[in-house]
Amino acid sequence: MIIEAATLPADTELTADVCIIGAGPAGLTVAQQLISSGLDVVVLESGEEDYDERTQALAGATLVGDGFRFNGAELDVAQTRLRQLGGTSNHWTGQCRPLDAHDFDQRDAVANSGWPFGADELAPHYKRAVTSCQLAVNEWAPTWWHDHTGAPILVDTDTVTTSVFQFSAPTRFGPELKPALAAAKHVRVVLGATALELQVTPDGSRVQAVTVSTLDGQHSSVKPGVVVVATGGIEPARLLLLSNGVNPAGLGNDHDVVGRYFMEHPHAIAGRARFVPSADLSFSVIGGRTIPGAGDRLVWAGLSPTAKAQADAGIGHGVALMFGAGGGSPREDREQATVPADAVDQLVTLGAGTASAPVLTVRVEQEPNPDNRVTLGDDLDGLGQRRAVVTWRMHPPDWHTVRTTIELIADALGRAGLARIEIDPSGKPIEEWPVEIGNHHMGTTRMHADPAHGVVDAQCQVHGIDNLYVCGSSVFPTSGMANPTLTIVALAHRLADHLRREVRRR
Ligand SMILES: Cc1cc2nc3c(=O)[nH]c(=O)nc-3n(C[C@H](O)[C@H](O)[C@H](O)COP(=O)(O)OP(=O)(O)OC[C@H]3O[C@@H](n4cnc5c(N)ncnc54)[C@H](O)[C@@H]3O)c2cc1C
C-alpha cells in the first residue's frame, strides 16, 4: 500500500515489525525482499513520486574542502542526491561492477582497510543484485567477455588487467518496484514522511520510536520492531547524530566514528593515449555488445593495476576509463562520456595519428580518512533539523594512487607495443587539475567488528543497539573502484535475509 503522510491524522502512531527509512535502491530492495516474509513493513520516504523542490532542499548541506565537481560544474551536496521515491536511482547512470575480492582485504597499502568478511560472503547476493539492477549476466572476468562476446582484451598481465563494467537499464527502483509494493498486504510505503529522530530507550539499547514529519510540519511516529536506515551515504550519519536524546554524541557514536571516513570516487584526467593503428579499442569505449541470451547491452572495459601490482606499489585500487577523442582539450574530451559505436573506427584512426587521442580518466579508491567526515552544522533545514557539514579533501595517498595507476597502465601499454601515454596531458601535473567526483557517497557509518573502529557490525547492525541497522554505501569500510550501487543492492538482499530470520526470532 502507498500512503501519503499528509493524509494521516496528526500524531498517528504506526507500528511495524520492520521500519525502513529511505526508499532508494537500498530501502526498496529490503522492502521488496520482505513482501512475502509475513513481517509488517513500513517504509518512510521523505520524497514523493515526483521531484519536489521543497523536499529536495532538505538534502542541502555545507561542503568544506575540495568541492564536488562533476562534468565541469561545481555541485551542491543536494545536487548529488534525490529525495524522491526510488531515491537517486531516478537519475543514476547505471554503471555497475561488483567489488573485487581484494577490495575486502585488510591491505598494508591502504590505512583503515578491511571488511569484516570476504568476497565469498557477498557472492550469492551479488547474483541477486544483478537481477535487481537488470544487468545481462553475473559475469565479470575479461576472458568470459572475450569468449562469449568477442570483446577484444587490450591488456591482461600480472600488473594490469581489464575491468569490465555493465550498464543497468538504468533501473529506476521507484517505478520498477512500486506496483509490487503497492499490492503487498503487509507493506506500507509512506511518502512525504521525513524521519526526524530515532528515539531510544533510556539505556540507549533499543529504538522505541521513529519520529516523522511532513513538509508542513505535521508529526507522526512509528513504533518499530527493528529499524533499517537506508538514506544514502551522508544522511544515515546525519540521522544518527541528530538522534541525541539519550547520548548527546548521537546514536552508535560512543567512539566518535559516526560521520567519519567519508569517501568519494575521485576522477582525474591523468593521461592521453596514442594507440597503434592495430589496437582494437572497441571494448574500451562505452558501446553495445551482443550478449548470448540477453541481446545488445552497453558495456565498458577499463584498465586496472592488479591486486599484486597495487600491493607492490603501495596504492589503493584504481581504474583508467577511456573517453573519446574529440580533438579538443582533455576537458572537452572528458565530457564526451559516450562514444557511439560507429565512432570507434574513427577513434582507432585518431589514436594512431596526429591530432588527438583518447583521454584516460583515472578513478581511484580513496583511503578511508577520519578527517573526511559528516558533522552537524548550525544551519537548519525546512523542518528545523541541523544540516550536515561534509568535509571532503583529496589526501596524499589518494594522489599517489592516481599517479601510480596511470604510470602502471602506461608501462603495460608501452610494453605491449600498443600505445604511448602522455601523463599530465594538460601540461601541468595531474594534481593541479580539479578532481571530479563520482556522486558516490560512502563510509560514514562504516562496518567493523570492533565498535571502536566501526559503527555497524558485519550484519549492518549498529553496535550496542539491538534493533537498529544501516543499509547502503555508508557502511562500506573501503570502496574499491567499482560504482557502489550493485554492492549496495547486494547488501540489501543480504540484510533482508538476516531480518527474515532475526525478526521472527525476537
Ligand atoms: C548523477 C549520478 C549518477 C550516478 N551514477 C551511478 C552509476 O552509474 N553507478 C552507480 O553504482 N551509482 C551511481 N550513482 C549513485 C547511486 O545513485 C547511489 O549509489 C544509489 O542511488 C544509492 O542508493 P541508496 O538507496 O543507498 O540511496 P538513495 O538513492 O540516495 O536513496 C535514499 C532515499 O532516502 C530518502 N531519505 C533521505 N533522508 C530521509 C529521511 N530523513 N527520512 C526519510 N527518507 C529519507 C531519500 O529521499 C531517498 O529516496 C549516481 C549518482 C548520481 C547523482
Confidence at residue 344, expressed as pLDDT on a 0 to 100 scale? 35
CB 283 within 8 A of CB 339: no
SS (H, E, C) 103-124: HHCCCCCCCCCCCCCCHHHHHH
Contact 300, 321 (CB under 8 A): yes
pLDDT for position 427: 72
Q: pTM of this prediction?
A: 0.95
Residue 166 near residue 424, CB atoms below 8 Å:
no
Q: Which residues line ligand 1 (CB under 6 A)?
A: 21-27, 44-47, 80-81, 83-84, 87-89, 91-96, 194-195, 230-232, 235, 239, 439-440, 472-473, 483-485, 488
| Residue carrying the nine cell digits 550536515 | 388
* Under 8 Å between Cβ of 88 and 232: yes
Distance 18 CA to ligand 1 centre (A): 21
| Cβ-proximal residues to 453 (8 Å cutoff; 6+ apart), any chain | 112, 255, 257, 446
| Cis check: omega of the bond before 170, within 30 degrees of 0 | yes
SS3 content of the chain, % helix, strand, coil (to 5): 30, 25, 45
How high is the pLDDT of residue 347?
A: 37
Kindly tell me the sign of the dihedral angle through the C-alpha atoms of 406, 410, 416, 420.
positive
Residue 418 sits in a domain of what CATH number?
3.50.50.60
178: Cα separation from own chain's centroid: 22
Three-state DSSP at 131 gives helix
* pLDDT reported for residue 346: 39
**Ligand 1 atom closest to 47 (CA):** 47
* Euclidean distance between CA atoms 412 and 418, whole angstroms: 9
Cα of 92 vs centre of ligand 1, distance in Å, is 8
- Which atom of ligand 1 is least distant from the CA of 58? 38
Nearest CA to ligand 1 atom 13: 92
CA dist., res. 316 & res. 305, Å (int)? 9
The Cα 491–Cα 442 span in angstroms is 14
> If you measure from the C-alpha of residue 234 to the centroid of ligand 1, how many angstroms do you get, rounded to a whole number?
10
| Cβ–Cβ under 8 Å, residues 192 and 217 | no
- Tell the residue nearest (CA) to atom 50 of ligand 1: 92
Domain count, the chain: 1
How many other β-carbons are positioned within 10 Å of the β-carbon of residue 262? Answer: 26
What sign does the CA torsion over 350, 94, 491, 230 have?
Answer: positive
Could you tell me the residue range of the domain that residue 334 belongs to?
2-505
Chunked into runs of 10 residues, the chain (506 residues) has average pLDDT values of 97 98 98 97 98 97 95 91 97 96 98 98 98 98 96 95 96 98 97 98 97 97 98 98 97 98 95 84 87 92 97 98 58 37 37 52 97 98 98 97 96 90 81 90 98 98 98 98 98 98 79
Widest CA span in the chain: 72
Q: In testing the pocket of ligand 1, which one of 439, 471, 495 has its CB within 8 Å of the most ligand atoms?
A: 439
Residue by residue, what is the 3-state secondary structure of 401-460? HHHHHHHHHHHHHHHCCCEEEEECCCCCCHHHCCCECCCCCECCCCECCCCCCCCECCCC
